[in-house]
Amino acid sequence: MSLKRTDVLLCCGSGCVSAGALKLKEKLLQEIVKRGLSDEINIIETGCMGPCDYGPVMMVYPEGVFYKKVALTDVEELVEEHFMKGRPIKRLMVQESEEVYPTKKEIPFYQLQEKVALKNCGLINPEKIEEYIATGGYEALGKVLTEMKPADVIQIIKDSGLRGRGGAGFPTAMKWKFVYDQKNDEKYVICNGDEGDPGAFMDRSLLEGDPHKILEGMMIAAYAVGAKKGFFYIRAEYPLAIKRIKIAIEQSKKYGFLGEAIFDSDFAFDAEVRTGAGAFVCGEETALIASLEGKRGHPVLKPPYPAISGLWNKPTLVNNVETLANLSAIIINGADWFSKMGTETSKGTKVFALTGDLNNTGLVEVPMGITLKDLIYKVGGGISEGKKFKAVQLGGPSGGCLMDEHLSVQIDYESLQQKGAMMGSGGVIVMDDSNCMVNVAKFFLEFSVEESCGKCTPCRVGLREMYLILDRITKGEGKPEDLDKLEKLGKTVKELSLCGLGQSAPNPVLSTIRYFRKEYEEHIFNKRCEAKVCPDLVHFLIDKDKCLGCGLCAQKCPAKCIIGSREEKYEIVQTDCVKCSTCVEVCPVNVIEKLSGQFDASPKQEFKKYADLYE
């Protein structure tokens, strides 16, 4: 037993680390040593606590005080006042409109959240198996191995209604049953930790924050389907996740959770980590398997499904990280407990990575069936800088964009699909009204064009063709027939592509055309970008009547296209303008404006100006 009286949990998720959490840890340790408190205070690195906007965050127990945006300069006061004298520091607590929230349970960001997969994330040291065990870890595995038959395990997962969290939402028990039914001595389980969606960090946070939970989930799945060997496929860009899973595997071996005769049963299991090179398509299960086998990561036609013939042509179960993270809780708490959360067809909770123009971005877990409005406004804290909500992209580059009329939509697999978006793996990108939807569609499509493996023509050529059309539209060269062409191409690519990448890549374009058609038409017919994003569809003007004639804009203009003098005042030579906005930023009296639409001075007038200049 130790003399410790305070646990300081320091969030070391990626957001907090980039905000300086590791330096903070160093400084905390120094300060604690300096004051002779090392025997009494634990500094513990945890996984992601969720509210990335508040980073670096920490929690101090036993009081459970939650601190946000802790700076190096706060450390001395923190140690002296709180750790030493027991006076928590108010100014570092979460505060919203005069209200102070000292502990986590009062903070609005956490109010609607329900943590199942993320339960231990941010509360335990992910590199200590004992802390995982303390939370009830490996009890589910023990229960399964000592009290249940594989078929019983499949039944309880079936009753729970759990569906795959990797994107498609396939019923987990059904997939397990396929593998279970295969008569084969050699079967495999793969944990899909590829997570290639831009802006997504759910699986990474789970792997980093609670690796043993994923490992235990994998073992439960393996027992149910009859596999003896498991692989974690994690992209190389996630070095910490890889390290943590490796540590978890080592520790688990030491305690005998991995190995032979686990819990004195005849179940033996071993797991290892394989790293992926970061291609988006390698998240697709058949491409993933090819990559694992050391081949080029190209998808192949299904059937046969991996469940029948997967890794090295053996029956293989591929499950997503979050799917596996739900298993131990279902085994311990029962199918009913799980299926009480969520909607008719979508049970349990879902982890989302909230990003974009929100007050509270971060990692959240909410019950299925929550409305988009609650997710964006209550959990996400609403749109930042007091701007207006415009759109939300769900499901990453394979998903779709929804608009304000969809805010009352409940988040479940079917409702989202019906509206042209999808659950995907849980990336949520919220956009305010300064975003141009044509540009947004172009951004996602560009990602898919780059990530298309090139195996099938519709995806390789079709997506590029769509991209070129979008590019033209944003440059003011859109043609009247472009929208029809985009829709037709999109449908063709969806129908004729072999794998999910091509089958879903047109979604961002199709959904934005469906819900923001006017904006496309504005670009095509009126050559205007209302959001003033597309450089070729905006122009800048100096209000000559109000111009001081200071010349700062002319001095700073990188294209040297602002001309004039103190007496004449200044103006922009539109043909040379590169639309960089520098003049707007430097003008001391704010009389330069960015305007939607192209500059429409007739050529004659332009010419006259130059002629005048020459004189």
Binding site for ligand FMN (CB under 6 A): 164-168, 170, 192, 194-196, 280-281, 283-285, 318-320, 323, 425, 499-501
Is residue 481 packed enough to be buried (19+ CB in 10 Å), middle (13-18) or exposed (0-12)? exposed
Looking at this protein, which amino acid is placed at residue 581? S
What's the angle, vertex CA 569, arms to CA 563 and CA 574, rounded to 5? 40
Beta carbon of residue 502, minimum distance to ligand FMN (angstroms, whole number): 9
Contact positions vs another protein (CB under 8 A): 1-7, 9, 39-40, 61-64, 81, 84-87, 123-124, 130-131, 133-134, 136, 138-139, 142-143, 146, 255-257, 262-264
CB of residue 223 to ligand FMN, shortest distance in Å = 17
How many angstroms separate the CA atoms of 276 and 238, rounded? 10
Q: Which does 4 bind (CB under 5 to 8 A by kind): ligand FMN, another protein, none?
A: another protein
Nearest residue (CB) to another protein, 82 versus 314: 82
Q: Among ligand FMN, another protein, none, what does residue 166 contact (CB within 5–8 Å per kind)?
A: ligand FMN
Rounded to a whole number of angstroms, the minimum distance from the CB of residue 192 to ligand FMN is 3
Supply angle C-alpha 228, 234, 240, rounded to 5: 115
* Closer of 323 and 511 to ligand FMN (Cβ): 323
H or E element at residue 539: strand 538-542
| Nearest distance, CB of residue 288 and another protein, angstroms | 31
Find which of another protein, ligand FMN, none residue 198 binds, CB within 5 to 8 Å per kind.
none
Minimum distance from residue 234 beta carbon to ligand FMN (Å): 10
Q: How far is the CB of 406 from ligand FMN (least distance, A)?
A: 24
Tokens read off for 257 = 């959770």
Q: How far is the CB of 501 from ligand FMN (least distance, A)?
A: 4
Residue found by looking up tokens 């946070």 in the block:
205
Given the complex with ligand FMN, which of 271 and 534 has the nearer CB atom? Answer: 271
Out of another protein, ligand FMN, none, what residue 62 binds, judged by CB under 5 to 8 A for its kind, is: another protein
> Which partner in another protein, ligand FMN, none is near 338 (CB below 5 to 8 A by kind)?
none
* Residue 202 CB, nearest approach to ligand FMN (Å): 10
Minimum distance of ligand FMN from residue 349's CB (angstroms)? 15
Q: What distance in Å separates the CA atoms of residue 543 and residue 584, rounded to the nearest whole number? A: 11
CA pair distance 602, 444, nearest whole angstrom: 37
433, two tokens: 């009204």
> Which of ligand FMN, another protein, none sits in contact with 63, Cβ below 5 to 8 A by type?
another protein
Q: How far apart are CA 471 and CA 402, in angstroms?
A: 22
Q: Measure the CA dihedral 178/181/186/192, to 10°.
A: 20
- Looking at the Cβ atoms of 100 and 548, the one nearer to another protein is 100
Looking at the Cβ atoms of 12 and 438, the one nearer to another protein is 12
C-beta closer to another protein: residue 124 or 524: 124
Q: Which is nearer to another protein, 65 or 445 (CB)?
A: 65
Q: Are 538 and 529 in contact (CB under 8 A)?
A: yes
- Pairing state between β 592-596 and 538-542: antiparallel
End-to-end alpha carbon distance in the chain: 91
The binder of 557, among another protein, ligand FMN, none, by C-beta within 5 to 8 A per type, is none
**Are 21 and 55 in contact, with CB atoms under 8 Å apart?**
yes
Q: Which is nearer to another protein, 85 or 91 (CB)?
A: 85
Longest dimension (CA), the chain: 98
Q: Please give the Cα distance from 199 to 431 (Å, whole number).
A: 13
Query: Rounded to an integer, what distance in angstroms lies between the CA atom of residue 421 and that of residue 402?
Result: 7
**What does the block give as tokens for 209?**
């924050």
Least separation in angstroms between residue 488's CB and ligand FMN is 23
Count H helices and E strands in the chain, helices first: 26, 19
129 or 327, CB closer to ligand FMN? 327
Q: How far is the CB of 282 from ligand FMN (least distance, A)?
A: 8
**Beta carbons of 598 and 536 less than 8 angstroms apart:** yes
Long-range contacts of 576-584 (CB under 8 A, 24+ apart): 577/539, 577/540, 578/535, 579/535, 579/536, 579/538, 579/539, 579/540, 581/540, 582/553, 582/556, 582/557, 582/558, 583/540, 583/542, 583/553, 583/556, 583/557, 584/540
Pick the closer one to ligand FMN by CB: 16 or 327: 327
Rounded to whole angstroms, how far apart are CA atoms 188 and 307?
A: 9
Separation between Cα atoms, residue 539 and residue 558, nearest integer Å = 16
Q: Which is nearer to another protein, 81 or 481 (CB)?
A: 81
Among another protein, ligand FMN, none, what binds residue 318 when CB lies within 5 to 8 Å by partner kind?
A: ligand FMN
490 closest CA partner among 514, 472, 506, 474: 506
336 binds, among ligand FMN, another protein, none (CB under 5 to 8 A by kind): none
Residue 607 binds which one of ligand FMN, another protein, none, with CB within 5 to 8 A depending on kind?
A: none
Choose between 501 and 591: whose C-beta lies nearer to ligand FMN: 501
* Shortest distance, position 6 Cβ to another protein, whole Å: 7
